[in-house]
Amino acid sequence: MRCLKCRDKASVEMRRHNAAYCAPHYVDFFRSHVLRNIKSKKMFGHSEKILVAVSGGKDSLGLWDVLTHLGYKTTGLYIDLGIGEYSVRSREKSEAFADSIGGKLVVKDVREAYGEDEMGITELSKALRRAPCSGCGLTKRYVTNQVAHELGFDVLATGHNLDDETATLMGNVLHWQMGYLARQSPVLESTHVRLARKVKPLYTFTERESLSYVLIRGIDYIEEECPNAHGALSILYKEALNTIENQSPGAKSSFLMGFLDRAKPLIEAAEDVELAECIQCGEPTTAELCAFCRMWDRAKSARRLNRGKI
């Protein structure tokens, strides 16, 4: 296979585009398509302050690298979830990458900011007796919103790729989660003064394309998975979708783009919600007490109760 631009030996092929590129031309292609996504979806401009949520993984570090090269004003945000050695190592990777690009990285430790007695995601899920990922997802959304607001960022960018988005879509469709479907989007405009606009500039790239960029750029990302990801449904959905993709190139992309263009507008119209402020923390919510406060309060009292018994 040959590079579409220079006819050299290709490094990365994209069957759904009928294209392949050598390493340097792939980097150009990747960056110019990220820029195209940003512009066509009006994600942000060069004057806006962008907070990039980084996990130490390939997608978020790759995204930060691209945005830096495109000349955007970025700051990284790493949330230390307190998930054992995994959090230690992913934090190190994030800090090392920030240093390598001369970027500023804000680190928020969940154990210091919200929990008590060194209570991180692991302790939270034990106290609540529920799977870590549900509490973790809610916590990450809450913390990123809060930091973005406190530090005055206009935009919050995450590294979600096409595989993440189609797996989420599949999960939401399998259970007809209309509220989630109404909000799944590469750009979520701010619906409240305390909510930053949320954007996903990599939403058109497959996971393989995202990894290819990171490997060519020599970015040192954390390869190991969070120990709680084992057996996650999202991985099952990704495998199923990739089985289809392999037989029918472009299937993932048409699943997501078709949803965004044709189905989502209909669902959106039916699912309009009013936002109020949480009576405890002031963050936007549809209830009196926000879901984050409810969850952490419940975990803290469950933990105190358990300790009393011992």
Partner 1 sequence: MRVVLRNPRRREIQIAGNRQVLAILEELGLNPETVVVVQGGALLTRDAYVADDSSIEVISAISGGM
Cross-strand pairs, 199: 157, 187
- Residue window 32-71: x/- pattern of binding to partner 1, with contact defined by CB under 8 A: -------------------------xxx------------
**Residues 280, 15: Cα–Cα separation, whole Å:** 51
- Residue window 220-259: x/- pattern of binding to Zn ion, with contact defined by CB under 5 A: ----------------------------------------
Q: Which burial class, exposed, middle or buried, applies to 124 when counting CB atoms under 10 A from its CB (0-12, 13-18, 19+)?
A: buried
What is the β-pairing status of strands 12-14 and 19-21? antiparallel
- Residue 294 interacts with Zn ion (CB under 5 A): yes or no: no
Among 8, 15, 104, 137, binds ligand SF4 (CB under 6 A): 137
Query: Do 134 and 103 contact (CB within 8 A), yes or no?
Result: no
- In degrees rounded to 5, what are phi and psi of residue 167? -65, -40
Letter for the amino acid at 16?
Answer: R
Minimal distance in Å, beta carbon 228 to ligand SF4?
4
Cα–Cα separations (whole angstroms), residue 258 to 144, 164, 166, 296: 29, 16, 11, 38
- Residue 136 interacts with ligand SF4 (CB under 6 A): yes or no: yes
- Extract the tokens encoding 255: 């699943």
Q: Which is nearer to partner 1, 1 or 276 (CB)?
A: 1
**Residues 117, 138: Cα–Cα separation, whole Å:** 20
- Residue 121 interacts with, from partner 1, ligand SF4, Zn ion, none (CB under 5-8 Å by kind): ligand SF4
Minimal distance in Å, beta carbon 300 to ligand SF4?
19
Binding residues for ligand SF4, rule: CB under 6 A, are: 83, 121, 132-133, 136-137, 226, 228-229
- Enumerate binding residues for partner 1 (CB under 8 A): 1, 9-13, 20, 23, 57-59, 133, 136-137, 140, 163, 206-208, 210-212, 215-216, 223-226, 228-230, 232, 234-235, 238-239, 242-243, 245-246
